Amino acid sequence: MDDKVRARLDGLDRRFDEIERSFLDEQVLSDPKRVQELNKERTEIGEVVETFRRYRKTEADLADNRALLDDPDPEMRKLARDEVARLEAELAALDERLRVLLTPKDPLDGKNILLEIRSGTGGEEAALFAAELLRMYSRYAESKGWKVEPMSLSSSSGGGIKEAIVSISGKDVYSHLRFESGVHRVQRVPVTEAQGRIHTSAATVAVLPEADEVDIKIDEKDLEIHVAAAGGPGGQGVNTTNSAVRLLHKPSGIMVHCMDERSQIKNRAKAMKILRSRLMEAELEKQQAERTAERRAMIRSGDRSEKIRTYNFPQDRITDHRLERNFHNLPAFMDGEIDELVQQLRLQHQAQLLEGKKA
């Protein structure tokens, strides 16, 4: 570890102790806003400080054991050699972990998201798979304590989903789900297949960081707004009120359609939320050339060949093609138990950032 990194970590360690002492100050405790700020800062640096303290202890233990390598007792020298080897490996792992933790965070990581899922190649089977993906992400969000709010839904005739847009809000949602964007391919025997043949279908997933009004300003004169009666299955209130809203943002050509709510005001609010997020994503593409390719990959046609992950039901296997790794227990995975894979993708991204930094 070089001197600059150690000096930075020493500073964070001292700051952590300062925050801890602040919570003993009655004046600080009487100010809820200040307590909230300090708690947030403590959370942000806590893992780094804890890892650094483990690093320093391991470093000290290593020095003690190296001193025993010259002990006159052969048995003691052997024990010391074994312990030195173990501690050197542990120290190297902690050093790498600290480098990852000190990598600058993407400013979008703390954002909520809009999750868009569309059926691709495969007809009704693709629509059914899209519905299962929506359930999978909803269950994962539930396990994280995140809130899922439907924004727009277009169902297929067989009970699947042509297109679904949901808002997911909570702690670090974007940093967890950003790598889910792309084409998801499924291989299985469809319920409509009489001869038991395996079919391949696909659905696309796009993860957009949610834009606040502060992030994106929309001029009313740039909007073309259409209202109409909501369509869909029969029932009281359907096709009797002009609640469906379609927004066209004329400068960008982006169009958003919302009809899920019975209220025109609520549908317009949801449509504006989606529009802001799509406009922010478009702006980020202009500013960051590397994100252009990422977004383009998100919204491809849904062809089966353009895949980031394959769900093979007959072999109970999930293959993530970026990690080049297989996972198993598909039923649990489709029930939202995807955290192991999500964390592997996050670690891969951090490692790539570190490699880029070293280069």
Residues 28 and 175 in one domain: no
Residues 78 and 197 in one domain: no
Q: Is residue 359 part of a domain?
A: no
pLDDT range class, residue 348, cuts 50, 70, 90 = confident
Q: Is residue 325 part of a domain?
A: yes
pLDDT higher than threshold 80 for residue 292: no
The CATH number given to whatever domain includes residue 123 is 3.30.70.1660
**Host domain of residue 323:** 113-353
Residues 128 and 32 in one domain: no
Which of 68, 101, 134 is the last residue before a domain boundary?
Answer: 101
Residues 247 and 338 in one domain: yes
Residues 123 and 11 in one domain: no
- Tokens 């919302």 locate to 258
Number of domains in the chain: 2
Which of 101, 128, 158 is the last residue before a domain boundary?
Answer: 101
CB 310 within 8 A of CB 321: yes
- Measured CA to CA in angstroms, residue 133 lies from 123, 138, 139, 201, 257 at distances of 16, 8, 10, 13, 22
High-pLDDT (> 90) share of the chain, %: 54
Residues 245 and 128 in one domain: yes
Q: Which tokens hold the place of 256? A: 């958003």
> What average pLDDT is seen over the chain?
85
pLDDT higher than threshold 80 for residue 289: no
Write the CB contacts of 10 (distance below 8 Å, at least 6 apart in sequence): none
Q: Is residue 295 part of a domain?
A: yes
pLDDT tens track for 307-332: 899 999 999 999 999 999 999 999 99
Rounded to 5°, the CA angle 75-76-82 comes to: 95
pLDDT higher than threshold 60 for residue 301: no
Q: Is residue 254 part of a domain?
A: yes
Q: Is residue 358 part of a domain?
A: no
CB 273 within 8 A of CB 113: no
pLDDT range class, residue 253, cuts 50, 70, 90 = confident
Residues 183 and 287 in one domain: yes
Residues 76 and 124 in one domain: no
Residues 56 and 130 in one domain: no
Q: Is residue 108 part of a domain?
A: no
